[in-house]
A = this chain, B = another copy of it.
Amino acid sequence: MAVDNLETIHQALREHLKEDQISVNETVRELHGRDESYHSMKLPDIVVFPETAAQVAAVMKVSKQFQMPVVPFGLGSSLEGHVIPQSGGITIDFSLMNKVLAVNEEDFLVKVQPGVTRTQLNKELKKYGLFFTVDPGADATLGGMVATNASGTTSVKYGVMRDQVRDLEVVLADGTIIHTGSMAAKSSSGLHLNGLFTGSEGTLGCFTEMTLRVYGIPEHITAARASFPSVKDAVEAVVSILQAGIPIARVELVDEQSVRQANLFSDTAYLEKPTLFMEFHGNEAGLKQDVEFMQEIVQGHGCEELAFETDTAGRNRLWEARHNLAYAYIHGYPGKKMMVTDVCLPISELAGAVGHARDNLLALGLPGGIVGHVGDGNFHALIMMDMNDPVEVAKAQEFNERIVLYALERGGTCTGEHGVGLGKQKYQEREHGAALAVMEKIKRALDPDNLLNPHKNIKTEAKEAIE
C-alpha cells in the first residue's frame, strides 16, 4: 500500500476513533494476520479497536470511501483462515467490545458484545444458575461463534449457534445499523435475517451486539466413558442410543490414537480404545432411567469398559481432556501444523465415513486421529503435517479432499461447524450447485463493492487493497 494513501486513511479513521484505537504497528498486524489453522499469514494494513457500533459504522464508511476491505476479528481461533486478510485492508478487532450487557433470567436471554468469550459468559451466567450451551472447545468469542455458526459437544441436545441467536445488531457495508430479530422466542415476520447473518463469516456485516438464548443449569448431570473394541462398534452404539430416543446431552467419539494423545497431555489414564465420552442432563429419576437404558445399549455393542464420572471434578477432567485434544496433538508433534477435517453426514452414513477416514489416514501414512460430535454426524480427523515437507502437505490436502468428497456424495456437508473460510471454498460449488448463485446474489445485493471479508465463504471477485 502506498504510504500517503495509508496516512490519508489513518487520518480519516482518526476523525472517529482515538489514536490508541488505531494501529499500524507490525507486531499488532502480525497478530491479526493468522489464526489457529495451517493457512498462510497475510497482514492487514491497519488494525482498529472500536468501542461502539457507531465507531464500527464509521470504519465501514472509511472502508467504502477508500474501497478498502474490512475483516472482523475476535480471538483468531478460526480453523479455516476466516480472519486472515487476504487482500490486506482494515481489520476490526472486537476485543474492546467485550461486555455482558444484560442477563435476562426470566426470558433466558443474554445481551452481549461480540468480543465476550464463552467462558467469560458462562462465569457470569453461573451466578444466575444459567449456562450458555454452545461449546466448540476453543474459548472463542461469541461474535466469532455467530459468524461461523459454531457448535460442539452439546449441540446434539441444545442445537448449534444459530439456534441460540434471538437478535443481532449488525453494521452493514454502507454503515447502516440493523437488528435481525426481536426478543420473541419465535416469529413468522419478514425474512429470517437471524439465520442468514449467523454463519455469514463477516461477509455480510459486522455484529456489534447479540441477544442469545441461555438455559438453566440442569438439575442433574452424569458423565460416562464407554470403551469399545472398534470405532465401528462405538459409532453403532451412538446410532442405537439416538434411535432409542435417549435425550443425550453430549456424545463424543475419541479414537484410540486420540485417547493416547489425551492421556499423554492431560495426565489421565483412560483405556486406550475407541471411546465415547457421554453426558446426560435431566431430573434425577429420568436421568437414572436414561443411563440404565444407555448401559444396556452399549453392552449390546460390545462395550469393554464403562466408567461413570458422577462428581464435578471427574466430569471436568473428562471434558478438559476432550477439549484439549487439539492442543494435545499440537504438543505431541512439535514443529508441525494441524489440519482438521470437519464433515457432517446423515447419521446412517457415519460409521462408513469414519471407517473410510481411518483407512485413508493409514493408507496415506499420516499421523493423526479421529474425534467427533457423533450424535450430529460430525467428525474431525486431526492431521499433523510439516509445512516444509511438500509431500506431507500434499498428502494432508489429498486426505481432506477424499473425506469431503465422500461426505458430499452421501448427502453430507464439507463443514459441520468450522465454516468455509479459505479452506472449504473449493467445495462450495460441488456442495451447493445452483444454490451458490443465490448466495452470490445475496452477497452482491448487500455488499456490492465486495469489501466485507472478501475471499471468504461466498466466492466473489475481491477488490485488491492498493499495493
Q: Hey, which bits of chain A sit against chain B, CB under 8 A?
A: 104, 106-109, 148-151, 155, 160, 162-163, 172, 176-180, 182-196, 198-200, 215-216, 218-219, 239, 242-243, 245, 282-290, 293, 342, 344-348, 376-378, 407, 410-420, 424, 427-428, 431-439, 441-446, 457-458
A-B contact pairs, 28 of them (CB 8 A): A106-B346, A106-B347, A107-B346, A109-B346, A149-B186, A149-B187, A149-B192, A151-B188, A162-B192, A162-B195, A178-B434, A178-B438, A179-B435, A182-B411, A183-B411, A186-B417, A187-B344, A187-B413, A187-B415, A189-B424, A190-B428, A195-B195, A215-B245, A285-B286, A285-B288, A286-B286, A438-B446, A444-B445
With both chains docked as a complex, state the minimum distance between the C-beta of A334 and any C-beta of chain B, in angstroms. Answer: 30
Most central of A180, A242, A344 by chain B CB within 10 Å: A344
Nearest B residue to A282, CB-CB: B286
Contact in complex: B439, A184 (CB < 8 Å): no
Contact in complex: B184, A411 (CB < 8 Å): yes
Given known A109-B346, A419-B188, contact A439–B193 (CB-CB < 8 A) = yes
Most central of A107, A198, A342, A457 by chain B CB within 10 Å: A107
Most central of A104, A413, A438, A441 by chain B CB within 10 Å: A438
- CA–CA, A457 to B192, complex, Å? 12
Question: Can you list the 3 inter-chain pairs with the closest CB atoms, starting with the nearest?
Answer: A286-B286, A195-B195, A183-B411
A106: contacting residue among B177, B239, B287, B416, CB under 8 A: B239
One complex includes copies of this chain to the number of 2
Nearest B residue to A457, CB-CB: B190
With both chains docked as a complex, state the minimum distance between the C-beta of A79 and any C-beta of chain B, in angstroms. Answer: 11
Contact in complex: B442, A191 (CB < 8 Å): yes
- CA–CA, A190 to B431, complex, Å? 9
Contact in complex: A188, B417 (CB < 8 Å): yes
Nearest B residue to A348, CB-CB: B106
Residues of chain B with a CB closer than 8 A to A186's CB: 149, 151, 155, 160, 344, 376, 378, 413, 416-417
Nearest B residue to A211, CB-CB: B411
Given known A289-B286, A435-B190, contact A184–B442 (CB-CB < 8 A) = no
Residues of chain B with a CB closer than 8 A to A378's CB: 184-186
A163: contacting residue among B163, B282, B439, CB under 8 A: B163
Residues of chain B with a CB closer than 8 A to A435's CB: 178-180, 190, 193
Contact in complex: B179, A433 (CB < 8 Å): yes
- CA–CA, A419 to B189, complex, Å? 6
- CA–CA, A378 to B304, complex, Å? 49
Contact in complex: A189, B413 (CB < 8 Å): yes
Residues of chain B with a CB closer than 8 A to A109's CB: 346
Given known A188-B149, A420-B190, A444-B445, contact A107–B348 (CB-CB < 8 A) = yes
Residues of chain B with a CB closer than 8 A to A344's CB: 184-187
Contact in complex: B184, A413 (CB < 8 Å): yes
A183: contacting residue among B162, B176, B346, CB under 8 A: B346
Residues of chain B with a CB closer than 8 A to A431's CB: 182, 189-190
- CA–CA, A354 to B76, complex, Å? 46
- CA–CA, A184 to B406, complex, Å? 13
Contact in complex: B286, A189 (CB < 8 Å): no
Given known A106-B243, A282-B286, A376-B185, contact A439–B346 (CB-CB < 8 A) = no
Residues of chain B with a CB closer than 8 A to A189's CB: 413-415, 419-420, 424, 427-428, 431-432
Contact in complex: B193, A199 (CB < 8 Å): no
Most central of A183, A420, A437, A444 by chain B CB within 10 Å: A183
A177: contacting residue among B347, B410, B434, CB under 8 A: B434
Nearest B residue to A219, CB-CB: B245
Contact in complex: A187, B107 (CB < 8 Å): no
Residues of chain B with a CB closer than 8 A to A198's CB: 192
Nearest B residue to A443, CB-CB: B191
With both chains docked as a complex, state the minimum distance between the C-beta of A176 and any C-beta of chain B, in angstroms. Answer: 5
Residues of chain B with a CB closer than 8 A to A151's CB: 186, 188
Most central of A199, A419, A444 by chain B CB within 10 Å: A199
Residues of chain B with a CB closer than 8 A to A200's CB: 191
Nearest B residue to A419, CB-CB: B188
- CA–CA, A424 to B190, complex, Å? 10
Most central of A187, A191, A286, A415 by chain B CB within 10 Å: A191
